[in-house]
Structures are given as structure tokens and as C-alpha cells.
Amino acid sequence: MLKEGHLGLARSACLVGGAVWGGYWIPLRGLDASGFSGVLAAGVIHVIPALMLLPLMLIRHKSLRQGGIGLQATGAAMGLAILLYSTAFLYTDVVRAILLYYLTPVWGTLFARLWLAEKITLDRVFGIALGIAGMLIIFNIDQGLPLPRNLGDWMALGSGIIWALAATLTRRYPDQPAVDVVSSWFVWASGLAILVMFFLQGTVSIPPPVAFSSVLPWLAPLSLLLVLPVYLAITWGLPQLNPGTSGLLFMTEISVGTLTAAWLTSEIIGPREIIGIILITLAGLAEVLLPIARRFFKHVQS
């Protein structure tokens, strides 16, 4: 059984990972403005960390081979999910992309039940209900159900389902070293981006060398100091948590994404968004706070 301290660290890793991902759209939009349009932006943001990890991958080539189909399936699912999610920001509103993606706790809970036979707890159901309520409030449910309405919306929805599958795979193959999972993740994300660019988009306009030199001074440090550590923390934490639970914890991204979008773009944040953020925050903490509340009331009654 996982020690409570490790469980707390795993939860913290997913909470922080979600919060950092809340600002993930910012470098993607920056790359798009520098001439790296469409899926090319998502590819570039993953190729650089993959190149940074190349020496380590060469050192660990035996471990990577031993990971077999489980490691490659996990890396492929993560790579496809992040590629779809990254590209969705370029075709729809930031908030819409984040919210459609974050039906993930529902898919993760279902995958864990059907594939891993893990119980669906009342605390998790309550957390999912809070999270969806928060999303619907931000989505302005009084104007109708937030159904996908463009390519970016569908990408975001699909990426959430695939990410829930990836989280379930990490739970199914829990002994994979985090560094190997991250390496596979970046390689698959980079490779899939290249395939999409050249086989689905037709002729791709590659920016001139000056465009690469203009983004590397900020993208390389970002990859080394933020992207790689956060991805490593996420891949370490995921196998230790139910996919539905990790999906709830990652919902911190919604709050950060909504706030940064309001700060840096023309998207507006008002009372509705604030209420939604509060509910989503409570959803992410539900499985921690509810047991504490029950113990407290039990102690008071005794």
C-alpha cells in the first residue's frame, strides 16, 4: 500500500503539474506568432526537450527496450494527447479548449473501473460533480450545453479521452521509470507532430532560420527549467493515483488557464468565472478534504 507521504507527493505533483499547464497556451501562442503555425508549434515545443533528453536516452537504451509495448503504448498515448491538446489552443478559445479537455476525470474513472477494476468512490463522484458544475458555470450553461463546435473543440475533447487512457496505462504498468516514460512521451509527441505536418497538412511552410533563433533563447530555458521537471513530476505521480483522481487534481489548470487568459488576452473573467474556479478548486481537493471533514465531525460527535 502506498505510504501517505508518497501519496501526498503524488497528489502535489499532479496539482502543480496542472497549475503549470494552465499557462501552457502562452508559449504555444508565442510560437504561432513567430511563424510556427498549427501543429508545427506543438511539434517544436516537444522536439527541443526530446533533443535535450537524447544523451540520457542513449545511456538508458537497454531500459527503454525492456519497457516494451507497455512503455511505448503509454508514450504514444501521452504524445497524441498532448499534441491534440497543444494544437487545440490554436483553433479555439483557451477556456473552451481547457474545459472540454477536462472531462478527463470522467473518462479516467470509467477506464479505471472497466480496465483496472478500481472502485468508484463517493468522494470521487462528488469531486467530479463539483468539477463539472464549475466548468458548466464558466461555460455559461444558460446559453446551452457546451458541445464541441469547431476543430479545436473536438481536438480538446479527444485529447482528454486519450490522456485518461494514458493515465490508466501508467497505472497498468506502474514499474516504468518516470524518466523512460517522459523520454517516450517526447519522442512520440515529436514524431506524431512530424507525421501530421507532412502527411495530413500537405505542404508545410517552415519558418526561416531567423525564426528559430528568435524563439530558442526563451524556449530552451523554458524546456530545461520548467517543462522537463514538470513532466517528470507528472509521470512519477500518475501511476500512484487512480486516473479519475489525477484528472481531478489536474483541474488546477482550468483555474490558472482562465486567470491567465483573462490577464493576457481579451477573454473576460467575472463573477461566473470566479464561482467556477472555486468549485473546480474544491473538486481537485475533494478526495483529500472530505475524509478530513468526516473525521472531524466524527470526533466532534464523540
Domain boundaries, the chain: 4-290
Helix (H) / strand (E) element for 161: namely helix 151-172
Q: Would you state the pLDDT for residue 204?
A: 60
The Cβ-side half-sphere exposure at 201, using a 13 Å CA radius, reads: 16
In whole angstroms, give the CA distance from residue 283 to residue 275: 12
Give the C-alpha distances (Å, rounded to integers) separating 55 from 49, 51, 130. 11, 8, 44
pTM of the model: 0.84
pLDDT tens per residue, range 83-142: 888 778 778 877 677 778 878 888 988 999 999 888 888 888 888 888 888 877 876 666
Q: What is the mean pLDDT of residues 280-286?
A: 78
| 59 confidence band (pLDDT: 50, 70, 90) | very high
Decide which of 287 and 179 is more confident. Answer: 179
23 closest CA partner among 118, 124, 98, 90: 98
| 44 confidence band (pLDDT: 50, 70, 90) | confident
Q: What is the mean pLDDT of residues 224-252?
A: 88
pLDDT at 52 over 50: yes
Contacts 24+ apart (CB under 8 A), 232-237: 232/178, 232/179, 232/182, 233/13, 233/16, 233/17, 234/13, 234/14, 234/17, 235/170, 235/178, 235/181, 235/182, 235/185, 236/10, 236/13, 236/178, 237/9, 237/10, 237/11, 237/12, 237/13, 237/14, 237/17
Give the C-alpha distances (Å, rounded to integers) separating 275 from 106, 140, 272, 279. 21, 12, 5, 6
The Cβ-side half-sphere exposure at 96, using a 13 Å CA radius, reads: 19
pLDDT at 7 over 70: yes
| 4 confidence band (pLDDT: 50, 70, 90) | low
| 1 confidence band (pLDDT: 50, 70, 90) | very low
Q: Which of 55-59, 240-244, 278-282 has the lowest mean pLDDT?
A: 278-282
Q: What is the DSSP letter of 103?
A: T
pLDDT at 175 over 70: yes
Q: What is the DSSP letter of 173?
A: S
Decide which of 91 and 161 is more confident. Answer: 161
pLDDT at 270 over 70: yes
**Residue 81 DSSP SS3:** helix
218 Cβ neighbours under 8 A, 6+ residues apart: 27, 30
pLDDT tens per residue, range 180-235: 999 999 999 999 988 877 765 555 677 888 888 899 999 999 988 888 999 999 99
pLDDT tens per residue, range 285-300: 777 778 777 887 777 7
39 closest CA partner among 265, 196, 270, 158: 196
| 62 confidence band (pLDDT: 50, 70, 90) | very high
Q: Would you state the pLDDT for residue 131?
A: 81
Neighbours of 143 (CB within 10 A): 7
Mean pLDDT over the full length of the chain: 84
